[in-house]
Structure formats: structure tokens, C-alpha cells
Amino acid sequence: MRVLILGGDGYLGWPTAMKLTAHGHEVAVVDNYLRRNLCREEDVGPLFSVPNLNERSKIWQDHSGYAVSVFIGDLTQSDFMEEVFRAFTPDAVVHYAEQPSAPYSMLNSRAASLTLNNNLNTTMNLIMAVRKYCSECHIIKLGTMGEYGTPNIDIEEGWIDVEHKGRSHKFLYPRQAGSLYHTTKIMDTDLLWFYVRMWGLKVTDLMQGPVYGLLTDENQGQEALLPFFNYDEIFGTVVNRFIVQAVAGYPLTVFGKGGQTRGYLNIKDTLNCVRLSIETPPEKGELRIFNQLTETFTVNELADRVVRVGNQFNLDVKIKPIDNPRIEPEEHYYNPAHTGLLELGLKPNFLTDDAMAEMMETVLRYRSNIHEHKIFRKIKWKK
């Protein structure tokens, strides 16, 4: 299929492009380097330098023989979105093109406005372009498990049957976001669900948990093809941050009681979830929702694992609980269903000690690149 990846420069975007071309799909990527620019503005950045998209495309083609087309521009501009769709009319679109950080969205009013405008305008422009140029196109939107929050009941896979006063109806599972970023993802879902009903769009919404890892089947032994790997509080995910903190000798920053539970998955599983979704599309007029995770952990459990694996490398890893800068339950019930992708054929890569050791070994090679002042910025949800 012809697959267009919006946000193709990101932590997940570029690895997805390589995965899909390796599986025989024709791929184009689009980005305006927003994440790189925000990293420079906030004085954070990846663990190692990453080539730009045109350079990556050339390196990947030289290495694999597979080509990736590149478009550079701002997808919040509807004329640019249409230009891309005219040049590369896709069978499927993977929508990563959003400001992806909850902490950044809570930084200040400018960051909040950027998050709101960037995320919602890009989604709206995508919907309009699909309707105009390829109404049969399958939209795969990367949502987040953070849309659900932490309800005191089981989290169903996107939908819930409600009985009320003797009548019943199927609804989207109630959302209760914990940041402005997560709120924009809820609004994405609502926009897509509205236009699925109005225009018969074909949509898969992937409610993804925090992703960890650097190595994929496609970048093994190719340093220039590693993902854009942040380790800071703003753009780094918790497992990735803890691994870098362990290598740097920086105490693991456990927020509050550390009982916050989330569903996690390896970057390899993310790529396969997206691929399986593309290759097994929903029906026209269907909003299909998958909870994209493979296992759940508390923050304390993750920290203890990092300490244990760090000992194998003779690292003196310490845990330092700190006042929680976020407004969130620190101990709660959490039981999300996640069978849909397994039924499509996902074979999970679990967070074993060996998997964590492989990550730690890779990070150790870049130890001299770690800047401790970039790790923790004390971004508070409530000023």
C-alpha cells in the first residue's frame, strides 16, 4: 500500500517508515521539525545527533534498497496538507504529527496554545484532505492511554456498553485527561468520530501507552538510523529517562509515592501494531479502537528493575522520590483491556532484564553526551 506518515521525523515516525518499507509498502514522510525546534528552545535534546529526513532517507536506501519520499512543511497549513496529498495520494495515513509532550503542554501559556493549535489543526486538515483526495483512505491516529485517565473501573478497549433506566447504548469510553496534551488527543478522537459518522471515514485509533527502547529490526548496527531519543523530563518517556539517569549516576526521579500505573510497550511492538493496523483495515464508516500496550507497571516497579539491571553494569543506581509536580493519583486501580492487537497477530516483546540491559548497554556508549541539567526541569501542573 501507499502509506503517508505525518510526523515522520519523530521518535516513532522514522522507525515506522523503515518498518513499513521493509514490509513492502510505498512510504512518504512529512515533518516540519517541530520537536527538534522545541528541543532547541527549551535546551533539551536527544542523546545523540540524528540526521535530517533527507539524509536519513538516503542512508536507509543505501543500506536497505528501500526508498522513502520526504516532504518538509507545516501540516497546520491546509494548503501544504493538500499539496502533499496531491503529490502522494495514500491508501493509509499514520498520524503522528502532534506536539507529543504532556509536560511541555503544561509549561506556560505559549506552549499550551502551540499544543492546542498544532494538534487540532493538523487533525482537521488531515480529515479534510482525506475527504477531498482519497475518501477510501484509512487513517491510523496515534492516541494515548492517557485519554482514559485512571478510572476506578476496568478500562475497556475504546467503547463501553451503558445500561440506564432500562435502556442500553454503546458509547466511547469516558475520557478524563491529566494534561492539556492528553486533552487534545481526546479532541482528536471526538473529531474523527464525528466525521466517521458524517462522512463514513475509515479510522483506527491506537490508544498507546508509554513507549521505550532504541533498537528495532531495521536499525541494528546502523547508528545513523537510531530514533530521536530524548532523555529529558519534557520529551523523554519514563523508562528511557530512568535508563539514562542510571548511566549518568543521577538518582531516579520517582514522582510522589510511585504507585502510578501505566501500560507500556517496546518500540518494536509499536511498529508492529501500526503495521498490523494498516494491513488489516476496518470497514468504511468504522472508528476502530485498540489499546496499545503489552504489560503494566507502577513507577516503583520500573525503578526497581532499573536498579537491578544497573547492578549488572556496576552502576551505583539510587532512587530519590520527589514531590510530584503533576496532579494525579499516586496509587490507583488500573486494569485496561488490550486484546485487539493480539488478535491481529501482535507477538509482544516484554520488558525483561535482558531487554533493559540491551538498552543500558546502548546508552552507555553515549554516556559522554548526557547533560545532567537537561534531565529534570521541575515543570509543575499547578503553579
Active-site amino acid positions: 144, 181, 185
Which residues share a beta bridge with 288?
Answer: 204
Q: Tell me the C-alpha to C-alpha distance, in Å, between residue 174 and each of 162, 203, 372.
A: 11, 19, 39
- Measured distance CA(82)–CA(317) in Å, rounded: 50
Residues 204 and 139 sit within 8 Å (Cβ to Cβ): yes
The grid coordinates of residue 103 equal 509536560
User: In terms of DSSP bridges, do strands 261-266 and 295-298 run parallel, antiparallel, or are they unpaired?
Assistant: antiparallel
- Measured distance CA(275)–CA(192) in Å, rounded: 20
The grid coordinates of residue 237 equal 518517556
Largest pairwise CA distance in the chain: 65
Residues 177 and 115 sit within 8 Å (Cβ to Cβ): no
Residue 62's CB is within 10 A of a number of other CB atoms, namely 8
Taking CB atoms within 8 Å and a gap of at least 24, the contacts of 323-327 are 323/255, 323/256, 324/255, 324/256, 325/255, 325/378, 325/379, 325/380, 325/381, 326/178, 326/179, 326/255, 326/381, 327/178, 327/381, 327/382
Helix (H) or strand (E) holding 141: strand 138-144
- Measured distance CA(215)–CA(227) in Å, rounded: 8
User: In terms of DSSP bridges, do strands 92-95 and 2-6 run parallel, antiparallel, or are they unpaired?
Assistant: parallel
Residue-wise DSSP of 147-193: GT---SSPBPSSEEEEEETTEEEEEEPP---SSHHHHHHHHHHHHHH
